[in-house]
Amino acid sequence: MEFKRVTLDNLASEHICCALTDQKGESSVASKKAWLSQRLGEGLVFDKLDVRGKVFIEYIPAEKAWCPITADHYLFINCFWVSGQYKGQGYANLLLERCLADAKAKGMQGLVVLSAEKKMPFLSDPKYLKYKGFQIADQAPPYYELLYLPFSPQANVPQFKACVKSGRTDEEGWVVYYTNQCPHTDKYVPILVDHLKSKKLAIKAIKIQTTEQAQKAPNPFTTYALFYNGQFITNEILTAKSFDKLLIKTNLSPPTVPPSPSEWPAPLQRG
């Protein structure tokens, strides 16, 4: 099987691996492709196996990364995914080798990627990356690790920016930060917002729409980050059902939405 590079010329027709372009998902896929079209002009590379499956690597110059880091002259891996029937066949190694060769050809100092202390949803597998020689460059609460693979001992060590070092946000109540870097956010964030409103729970959705905003975000994983009263809760993209499970598990008592005048109780009648 051959690898294919997604470009501005074939983006409209190409399957982008992390979402199927079925009728129900078209708007979500379109949002991801619109995001990609803007990033391709900034040096983003999207390499994939020429199949309809999740076998791809997506990376961009770290100066343009949608992640609050300082990693000049590195390539930042946005997403690196091999799943299903394609696992265990060496495709991850081949994709990483392509990325490494590209980084060296461009005169970069190395590769950098967001991961975690252990495997977490939507984050690159730390066990595999460390096996391939990646080292811990920096850490941010509650479990994030910034891994890097330098090409020389003199290479600068990447760092998280100060905005993610506390692991908190100033926003009160339930707040979700998200971007169109993942095709699933445009679908599931509105579902979550509607679900919380149906339960009379207050929630604020903050969509990050520029590189500058992303690099000042309160969480390293700008694709999706849910907070409650300033505390980070999860980077897992939630459905209504998974949110209810999380609410039970965490035993949180979130603020409710004040009732509208139409919902006020009727005045007492004096007889």
Burial (0-12, 13-18, 19+ Cβ within 10 Å), 230: middle
Query: Which helix (H) or strand (E) segment is 76 a member of?
Result: strand 74-82
Residue 211's contacts (CB-CB under 8 Å, 6 or more residues apart) are: 42, 64, 65, 66
Residue pLDDT, tens place only, 35-78: 999 999 999 999 999 888 889 999 999 999 999 999 999 999 99
Residue 129: predicted pLDDT: 97
Provide CATH code, domain 3-161: 3.40.630.30
**Torsional sign, CA 246, 124, 179, 230:** positive
Residue 18: predicted pLDDT: 66
Residue 19: predicted pLDDT: 55
Query: Which helix (H) or strand (E) segment is 246 a member of?
Result: helix 240-250
Residue boundaries of the structural domains of the chain:
3-161, 174-250
Q: CATH fold of 174-250, please?
A: Glutaredoxin (3.40.30)
Residue 22: predicted pLDDT: 43
- Backbone angles phi and psi of 82, in degrees to 5: -130, 120
Q: Which positions of the chain have pLDDT values less than 70?
A: 17-27, 252-271
Residue 266: predicted pLDDT: 45
Residue 158's contacts (CB-CB under 8 Å, 6 or more residues apart) are: 62, 69, 70, 71, 74, 112, 137, 138, 146, 148
